[in-house]
Structure 1
Amino acid sequence: MPDATRNEVICEKILIIEDDAGFAELISSTLTDGGYAPHSFSCGDAAFRWLSSNSASLIIIDYTLPDMTGAAFVERMHELGLTIPFVMVTGRDDACLAVEMMKTGACDFMVKDTTFLDRLPTVVSRTLLEAATRQKLKIAEMSLRQSEARLTRAQKIARMGSWEWNIRSDEIYWSDELYSIFGFTPGDPQEIRMEWLYTLIAPQDLTAFKKAMLNSVKTCQPFNINYRIITKGGEEIVVSSQGEVECDGEGRPCLLSGTTLDITARIRAESEIQQLINYDTLTGLPNRSLLHDRLHLAIAQAARDKNLLGVLILDLDRFKGINDTLGHRAGDKLLKAVAVRLEACVRETDTLARLGGDEFVAILVGVSHVEGITKVAKKILSIISEPIYIDGHEIYSTCSIGIAVYPMDGDDSHTLLKYADLAMYQAKDLDRNNFQFFSREMNIKVLERMMLENSMRKALEREEFFLVYQPQVDTRSGQITGMEALLRWQHPDLGLLAPDKFIYLAEENNLIIPLGEWVLRTACRQNKAWQDEGLPAVRVAVNLSAKQFGQYHLDQVIASTLMEAGLDPQYLELEITESTIMKDAGQNTIILQKFKDMGISLAIDDFGTGYSSLSYLKHFPISRLKIDRSFVKDITTNPDDAAIAEIIIDIARSLKMNVIAEGVETRAQMQFLSFNNCVEMQGYLFSRPVPADVFANQLRNGLKY
């Protein structure tokens, strides 16, 4: 679509050089609809004759012409000194040709395919905008060079501010020009001391200034430093000071002298050039150039941190209609308002950029789950759909968002932007005002999440949750000493779901408390029922989430559950993760002691995967440490895992705690653990998690492994 930021589109003359008259007419018609003034020619010579007396803002040229190739046309342009931006068009998708043309200066390379006319307005708009930006940059650079030339002439005919510092007497001399730079009347104050000078230097630069001066005196070497000062009038300016040390006959420093120049104007000019190079002139957001730099860095950081990275491309829906109806000035104001709203949806560490026209890009860094990207996309859709008031008009706008995720969809900036763009067009095809992930698999995951969110609240009422039990075994006797109660969800549409598919949603939606209480109540009742049947009495281990552990009066809830089930507290074990206990170690010690006083057994789950202070650990009333399955998996082949397991076993023994290993799947693992005095284990070697009736038979008949 035409770029809304250009207020004089009708003045843009575009030269079309295409020997296919029908295709040239289609290009001309498309550009006319976009508000441009096209001029068509079927050969290169005719185009050059027209250019000899006319000017064009852009040339669209077919690579294959009757009288010359596109390359020959470009070469002749260069010989004539013509610097008109051009877009090369060809009927074949040739990557080598595209690279060759881009090297000759082509702004873009387009293939005559079925989407050519749809893509053409965007390519033209972007090319003209980039050309305008380059022209502004050229003017700014010329202005900077002129300013530097004037400054050079001024330095030849006028003194800069000069100064001297007598190191031995601490006397300082300033020239009249230096007084003026600092905003003082020459000679006032008459006596200048270094401590007074320090008060005029911006605090953030003072340390560097002192270091440069003292280092120069110490080494008798010249110095040159730029720093900020606060003038007498309170204005902050940037100055450049350079000086040299004079030494006496014995080589000792005695005088430091030099000059100081106000470089504020130069610094501002350089800053303005950088702004033009890297930032969009309308919204102030990073432009396409800076976006690629930021995305490249973000990908590298995500690779180091092993995080996800979200790339969102969003396009305002039906923006052209708003632009055409209310005018370009209103369109510009709408884009500015949208940019402000988008900035409120992302963090300072993220990047928000404008590609041009009504397209924006957001780079979301430090993402651990795809759901985090989904939240931002929903927030953007919501905030953009709110009315915007411009020039007395209430404007309702929506947007379509395409999302690509590193590393699943690609590991370079070009691929991620390409796939996010494709996903954005998919979103537009689906009635707009929505977001789409590039990969079909991710769209399925998002739909699954929505389905889970909608059905989870009623799942307890519908009795869709159930428990399975995995035995814990004393490998010396082969007897079952306990079991872990594990939650499952028989979803009516998605089938059997393990906890990793829905527990995080329960925590986000605050359903983990009632769900956790149901698990505790069901496990206690089942254990008591087995005991009433005369089966061996063993403990049942139940996991407590971080939110459950922080629940008010949790000890009363558990005591009530045990009383209701009629289960002796010694047959209940609560498993709490290492990280949960350490969040507020002092307060948690009190809570854990209450459980211990009730007779409940306590275990630290996944021990070794988090961070524990041994000084706190010895004070926790813990009965059992549980070696995480990640260490057990390669315990017989990985020396590091083996060493960690041995350390955990030694810690448990020294603190008079029991130890149990989970995830034991092979006899070799079992033998290694047994040899190192870890005799209690659970894992597939003994039994998978099984339904209540199967576990009852295991209690009754024992295990075979």
Structure 2
Amino acid sequence: MSAQLRILFLEDVPTDAELELRELQRAGVDCVTQRVDTKDEFMRALDEFRPDLILSDFSLPTFDGLSALDVARKLRPDTPFLFVSGTIGEERAIESLKRGATDYILKTNLRRLVPAVRRALQDVEERAARRGAERRLKESEERFQMAARATNDAIWDWDLKSNHVWWNEGVEKLFGYSREGVVEHVSWWTERLHPDDRERVLAEMRAVIDGGGMFWSGEYRFMRADGAYAYILDRGYVMRDEQGRAYRMIGAMMDITERKNQEERIARLSRIHAVLSGINSAIVRVREREELFREACRIAVEDGGFKLAWIGLLDKQTLDIRPGAWVGDEKGFLSRIRLSAHADLPQGRGVSGLAIRTRKPVVVNEVASDKRLVHREETLSSGFRSFVVLPLLVESEPIGSLYLYTGEADFFDQDELRLLAELAGDISFALEHIERRERLDYLAYYDALTGLPNRTLFHERLNQAMLNARADGGKVGLIALDLQRFGIINDTLGRHAGDQLLRLVGERLSQALTGRGWAARISANTFAIVLPDIKHEADIAHVLEQEVLERLMRPFNVDREELRIAAKAGVALFPGDGTDTDSLFRNAEAALKKSKGSGSKYLFYAPQMNARIAETLSLENRLRIALLDEQFVLYYQPKMAIASGCITGLEALLRWQSPELGLVSPAAFIPLLEETGMIIDVGRWALGQAVSDYRKWAHQGLEPPPIAVNISALELRQRDFVEMVQRVITQDGNGTPIFDLEITESVIMENIAQSIPALAAIRQMNVGIAIDDFGTGYSSLSYITQLPVTALKIDRSFVVDMASKSDSMAVVSIIISLAHSLNLKVVAEGVETQEQLTLLKLLRCDEMQGYLFRPPLPAELAAALFGAKNAGQAPRIV
């Protein structure tokens, strides 16, 4: 009773009707009512008000209840009619029920009203549902009987208890079976269902039978007598007993193979039309050949339903056909086949070569039987049953082919092939358009003589590089380069020789700048070089001296003449020397003009930059000499066990003993070693020297403690880093030295995926790993637990401030607790006061190093700390 109930009261006493209504409303019955008390009003209300329920008094002044009941049964036979009266007796009540009354309630017992109303309405609903079901069942049986008499379909009758199945003659006509070949058992039918359909069909049928359903229909493939499969539309009707249990099922099988084939053909044509439409849309928006290839393959697979689409590009020299783009179920197929358009080669005699040579599409509708195929087995094993090769032509010459593969045999018919040929023609047209546009773009943005960007493209690219640098807070280097005495070459050897020289200069500039930047030709003999992502000004000088000018100094062979040229350059740096392209280039040209008037090969626009670069380059040159002349030395700073005061290790520290500068602090030269990459060679030397010192001390009968060697980020990134360490520690075979590698936290976290396996391999050599400057980086605790480290070194900045700053004290305490919880040793760096040592001892720090104990010492002085005369004694803190 969720909808509003329409109640008609046949009652001459309004207050009685109101009492009945109040009883219903108190029970939550939502209703709309009308009261009448005469026959005419009652009949009119039955027609116009159309009540859902009639509540009638038995005795009325002009109209009695039984007469009203007869009228209601005649005009609205399905509407519940309840007597609510105070005068009805038992005999009359029984008579009223026999004549069709739903129930009767005494006005003195209105508590029965609501349950009686609800029961009456429920009975109405159930009767309506039963009548509907019976009507549908009857209609269904009639339709089924008519269809069975009129159809040529295969009619079946299945006894669900015995699994016996009766078939009509249609099963012989449709599927070619003889009467003797048809077994009247359900297993005969299930065995002939297509293996891919069987489980689904049986599950759907069982769901209807077990779920109380009456009708089942399904589509599947059924085996004919000749072994081929027909597409079937099968429909069945379930017959049930009074308890609702299914005992019989009757149905008909209709052969819809022709319809299915037509639907599939239409679907294929629709998909190919979609591919054609999609690729034509892509042609409008795509500007690059490679992007067009990728889009064509993607659309063919996603919109066309092809298993694989790929484009093979023709090498005009070798006539090999190589994949240029592909999308779909490739699974290594393209790497297993070799194709060619060369008719004299085995791989060129197949359909790929045929399509290229004839410039016409080639269809393979059955891979298994087509004798033209070169790679039949590879194609079949990849799940492909048919494919088409569509040659792509540019100006009537083949440049490659579009390949479309399907998993179905006999996929392509003439209509589909016509559309696909149109598709290939559209792609070919687009390729011609792209090629013409690329030629125009090339002439608009590139120098036709050298192939380098021209002034227009130079300004665009420079502007973009400056925008990127501004966003990243970086720098851009701009070099204006001028070829000296170029006019003399033109005048003496002719314009042709000058052009040839410019082409060779362009080639050398491109080679010199690979991976570093790019060059442009600005005017006759002036070039511009852009170096984005500059970290240090010295990087520009390196590129200029070691790559650009060095290459230009080599002789050029022009018309069998050996020519040498000189070049001058001016350098401007963004953002310091200009914040827009015009001002930056203008200042680079100003620096070039100064360079031409000086003895320098190049000058920076900012005068102070020239002095700084000269100083940096001079220092770099001295460092290279220092490496060759073995001017580097190792000092050793001892580590002390805080609890015992004994030496527990040495840290090898690099120093430069320069003949001109004396002993140089590492802060003055190590950053430059890292910038130039010399740190790799110097680091290898330092590791080897530490190993050599250890073995020398051991050979002298001393007991040297483990030596720690610092490793830079550049060293750790080397592919042969692990092999280098192993080679150094085992090179003379006199036992393995005991030493550690110290690597800063930030270096390890820079590439954690590479760091973990490299450090694990080194740890397998029994080499300790210490994280240096711990607390200054951003390492995750989850990564710390994965790293094969043996010690954490607290950065000196925390140690120095721990006595005066509570934050530093807290950091030191946390690091010590963390290290101990991970069973790692913890070392404090930079300990300079007794107060710091006392605090570290209270915090249970394991080791310390710093000037409070010992400064870095030359090798011979360090050896004295653990020499024979000091054996068993703890060195004093100085």
**How much does 1:413 deviate?**
4.9
In structure 2, do the counterparts of structure 1 residues 318 and 649 end up closer, same or farther at CA, with 3 Å as the change threshold? farther
Q: Is 1:311 matched up with 2:478?
A: yes
Measure, in 1, the Cα distance between the counterparts of 2:859 and 2:826. 25
**How much does 1:470 deviate?**
3.3
Q: Is 1:398 matched up with 2:488?
A: no
Match in the other structure for 2:17: none
Query: Matched residue of 2:792: which SS?
Result: strand
Measure, in 1, the Cα distance between the counterparts of 2:721 and 2:645. 34
Q: Is 1:335 matched up with 2:335?
A: no
**How much does 1:318 deviate?**
1.3
Measure, in 2, the Cα distance between the counterparts of 1:506 and 1:192. 57
**How much does 1:449 deviate?**
1.4
Instruction: Indicate conservation of the 8 Å contact 2:275/2:303, yes or no.
Output: no
Measure, in 1, the Cα distance between the counterparts of 2:825 and 2:705. 16
How big is each residue's C-alpha offset from its partner over 1:657-688, in whole Å with a ceiling of 9 and x where there is no partner?
11224356789988997787646444567665
In structure 2, do the counterparts of structure 1 residues 671 and 315 end up closer, same or farther at CA, with 3 Å as the change threshold? farther
How big is each residue's C-alpha offset from its partner over 1:8-29, in whole Å with a ceiling of 9 and x where there is no partner?
xxxxxxxxxxxxxxxxxxxxxx
RCO higher in structure (CA 8 A, sep ≥6) = 1
- 1:135-174 matches, within 5 Å, as none
How big is each residue's C-alpha offset from its partner over 1:171-216, in whole Å with a ceiling of 9 and x where there is no partner?
979xxxxxxxxxxxxxxxxx974457678874422488699999xx
How big is each residue's C-alpha offset from its partner over 1:513-563, in whole Å with a ceiling of 9 and x where there is no partner?
34432234336657998979xxxx86543335647753253332487387x
Percent identity of paired positions between Structure 1 and Structure 2: 32
How big is each residue's C-alpha offset from its partner over 1:441-496, in whole Å with a ceiling of 9 and x where there is no partner?
111211221233234312x3xxx443334344556777765442312111012333
In structure 2, do the counterparts of structure 1 residues 619 and 348 end up closer, same or farther at CA, with 3 Å as the change threshold? closer
Query: Matched residue of 2:522: which SS?
Result: strand
- 1:259-658 matches, within 5 Å, as 275=442, 278-302=445-469, 309-347=476-514, 350-368=517-535, 372-377=539-544, 378-405=546-573, 413=581, 416-418=584-586, 420-425=588-593, 427-429=595-597, 434-436=601-603, 438-458=609-629, 460=630, 464-473=631-640, 481-499=648-666, 501=669, 503-504=673-674, 507=678, 510=681, 512-522=683-693, 540-543=707-710, 546=715, 549-551=722-724, 552-557=726-731, 560=734, 572-576=739-743, 579=747, 583=754, 585-586=756-757, 588-595=759-766, 601-607=768-774, 622-628=789-795, 649-658=816-825
In structure 2, do the counterparts of structure 1 residues 557 and 406 end up closer, same or farther at CA, with 3 Å as the change threshold? farther
How big is each residue's C-alpha offset from its partner over 1:232-263, in whole Å with a ceiling of 9 and x where there is no partner?
762469xxxxxxxxxxxxxxxxxxxxxx9988
Equivalent residue letter for 1:338 = V
In structure 2, do the counterparts of structure 1 residues 520 and 435 end up closer, same or farther at CA, with 3 Å as the change threshold? farther
In structure 2, do the counterparts of structure 1 residues 213 and 384 end up closer, same or farther at CA, with 3 Å as the change threshold? same
In structure 2, do the counterparts of structure 1 residues 307 and 476 end up closer, same or farther at CA, with 3 Å as the change threshold? farther
Measure, in 2, the Cα distance between the counterparts of 1:336 and 1:511. 40
Instruction: Indicate conservation of the 8 Å contact 2:722/2:761, yes or no.
Output: no
Alignment equivalent of 1:234, drawn from 383, 392, 412:
392
Equivalent residue letter for 2:723 = G
- 1:112-191 matches, within 5 Å, as none
Equivalent residue letter for 1:466 = V
In structure 2, do the counterparts of structure 1 residues 287 and 587 end up closer, same or farther at CA, with 3 Å as the change threshold? closer
How big is each residue's C-alpha offset from its partner over 1:84-142, in whole Å with a ceiling of 9 and x where there is no partner?
xxxxxxxxxxxxxxxxxxxxxxxxxxxxxxxxxxxxxxxxxxxxxxxxxxxxxxxxxxx
Match in the other structure for 1:205: 295
Q: Is 1:703 matched up with 2:877?
A: yes
Measure, in 2, the Cα distance between the counterparts of 1:310 and 1:667. 51
Equivalent residue letter for 2:484 = D
Measure, in 2, the Cα distance between the counterparts of 1:408 and 1:675. 52
Query: Matched residue of 1:702: which SS?
Result: coil
**How much does 1:424 deviate?**
3.8
Measure, in 1, the Cα distance between the counterparts of 2:452 and 2:800. 49
Instruction: Indicate conservation of the 8 Å contact 1:170/1:193, yes or no.
Output: no
Query: Matched residue of 2:765: which SS?
Result: helix
Bigger Cα displacement from structure 2, 311-320 vs 323-332:
323-332
**How much does 1:338 deviate?**
1.2
Query: Matched residue of 2:742: which SS?
Result: strand
Equivalent residue letter for 1:234 = L
Measure, in 1, the Cα distance between the counterparts of 2:786 and 2:431. 62
Equivalent residue letter for 1:205 = E
Unaligned regions of 5+ residues in structure 2, if any?
1-262, 283-291, 305-359, 362-389, 396-425, 867-872
**How much does 1:325 deviate?**
2.0
Measure, in 1, the Cα distance between the counterparts of 2:701 and 2:453. 66
Measure, in 2, the Cα distance between the counterparts of 1:469 and 1:556. 22
Instruction: Indicate conservation of the 8 Å contact 2:853/2:876, yes or no.
Output: no
Measure, in 2, the Cα distance between the counterparts of 1:591 and 1:354. 51
Equivalent residue letter for 2:617 = V
How big is each residue's C-alpha offset from its partner over 1:305-350, in whole Å with a ceiling of 9 and x where there is no partner?
5655433322112112112223334323322221122111112562
Equivalent residue letter for 2:689 = W
TM-score, structure 2 normalization: 0.43
In structure 2, do the counterparts of structure 1 residues 594 and 394 end up closer, same or farther at CA, with 3 Å as the change threshold? closer
**How much does 1:423 deviate?**
4.6
Equivalent residue letter for 1:397 = I
Instruction: Indicate conservation of the 8 Å contact 1:487/1:519, yes or no.
Output: no
Query: Matched residue of 2:766: which SS?
Result: helix
**How much does 1:418 deviate?**
5.0
Measure, in 2, the Cα distance between the counterparts of 1:196 and 1:296. 40
Equivalent residue letter for 1:313 = A
Measure, in 1, the Cα distance between the counterparts of 2:837 and 2:576. 37
In structure 2, do the counterparts of structure 1 residues 278 and 583 end up closer, same or farther at CA, with 3 Å as the change threshold? same
**How much does 1:410 deviate?**
6.5
Measure, in 1, the Cα distance between the counterparts of 2:393 and 2:698. 78
Query: Matched residue of 1:334: which SS?
Result: helix
Measure, in 1, the Cα distance between the counterparts of 2:802 and 2:854. 20
How big is each residue's C-alpha offset from its partner over 1:287-312, in whole Å with a ceiling of 9 and x where there is no partner?
33433332343244345556554333
Equivalent residue letter for 2:460 = D
- 1:237-252 matches, within 5 Å, as none
Equivalent residue letter for 1:318 = R
Q: How many corresponding residue pairs?
A: 465
In structure 2, do the counterparts of structure 1 residues 665 and 521 end up closer, same or farther at CA, with 3 Å as the change threshold? same
Equivalent residue letter for 1:358 = N
Query: Matched residue of 1:291: which SS?
Result: helix
Measure, in 1, the Cα distance between the counterparts of 2:809 and 2:265. 68
